[in-house]
Copies of this chain bind each other. A is one copy, B any other.
């Protein structure tokens, strides 16, 4: 390291762009334990407050990726694609789009996360299938992708150790909510997958981290430029998270919804999950060069469901990852209480983030990384923004397990669904596509 760490900190502090070498020296020395936490946290706060250029972010991302191992799927390029969602309430599209896209000939090596705060996580949902193993060895991960078209597992010790170490520090030093650092954390893991292309589902609205379309667009553009500077093609969708996606929120319940959609169930309450899954799948198929245009990709995606190929693909991966039963055989909750409309009118809005946090009270989600969750609990929503309801109609069900505090959650959920005299909506699900 040619410069002292403090000199690099001072540069960022003074709004001077860091060079590739400065970024890699600092990060690599930190991972090696040669730079202490107190210097990294000082740099992180300087990055939080002074930002980073797109070049700095691309380099940070690459360096974090290269702190660990990268899967080699280059022999499958350009047909290796993944999707990343910035997180929401009831967002279960990964379980639908992965088998759709894989059954169309595109490989998806998906490293996914767990739920935290008000948002759910793909790994937790999959683990509501008895036996489903999300802690694969790297060899198993590769061979399942190669044989079945996709595999889904969690981050291992070998993947982006820099991200792991930096993320723990950000958590306790007030430097989590930084676009450059969020971007580096997301994209380094995606780059580690060895993909050729990536589709991003950047959510906005009350149930998303980004509250407005402008914020979501800024993040989408940053993620896209970071991917592209690192030779990964990126398409980003800005999608609405102002109401729960689909009918169910909660782990086993969401798997049930995925099963229903993959089986061709046309319940209108599944419509938004279906539409978003098909849109994301189509972009993945297009980027994965298995279609010449979007309409053709869309047709392939739809046919994959109608023919049953997607469901079969899911079941074969599920079995390969250890599942002891089929999707429609998983344990589901049986206890529920109903939330009924206290007045007639039109569904005006959801307090969607609060709904996500209510899930934590049912143990469907977790507050801290270390919390345990209950796969059986959750919500069923029978209405969408713009729907007309009569007083007494069932708006939602709260599924609980054992004694629980469902009655208390019911009381709070009441204030999360607003009914008004005047009709609003319906909500536009996909508002922008950045290609």
Contact = CB atoms under 8 A, between A and B. Distances in A.
Interface of A: 5-6, 9-10, 13, 36-42, 44-46, 48-50, 169, 171-175
Contacts of A175: 13, 42
Interface of A, secondary structure class, is: helix
A50 B49 CA distance: 8
A314 B388 CA distance: 92
B42 A44 contact: yes
Residue among A40, A42, A50, A171 facing the most chain B CB atoms (10 A cut-off): A42
A406 B10 CA distance: 34
8 contacts: A6-B172, A10-B174, A37-B37, A37-B38, A38-B41, A39-B41, A41-B45, A49-B50
A169 B38 contact: yes
Contacts of A40: 38
A6 B173 contact: yes
Nearest to A46: B45
B174 A49 contact: no
Nearest to A14: B174
B13 A174 contact: yes
Contacts of A10: 174
Contacts of A171: 6
Given A45-B45, A48-B13, A49-B49, A38 B6 contact: no
A201 to B, nearest CB: 28
Given A41-B38, A41-B39, A9 B173 contact: yes
A175 B9 CA distance: 9
Given A13-B174, A38-B172, A41-B41, 18 more contacts: A5-B172, A6-B173, A9-B45, A9-B174, A13-B49, A36-B37, A37-B38, A38-B38, A38-B41, A38-B169, A38-B173, A42-B173, A42-B174, A42-B175, A45-B45, A45-B46, A46-B174, A49-B50
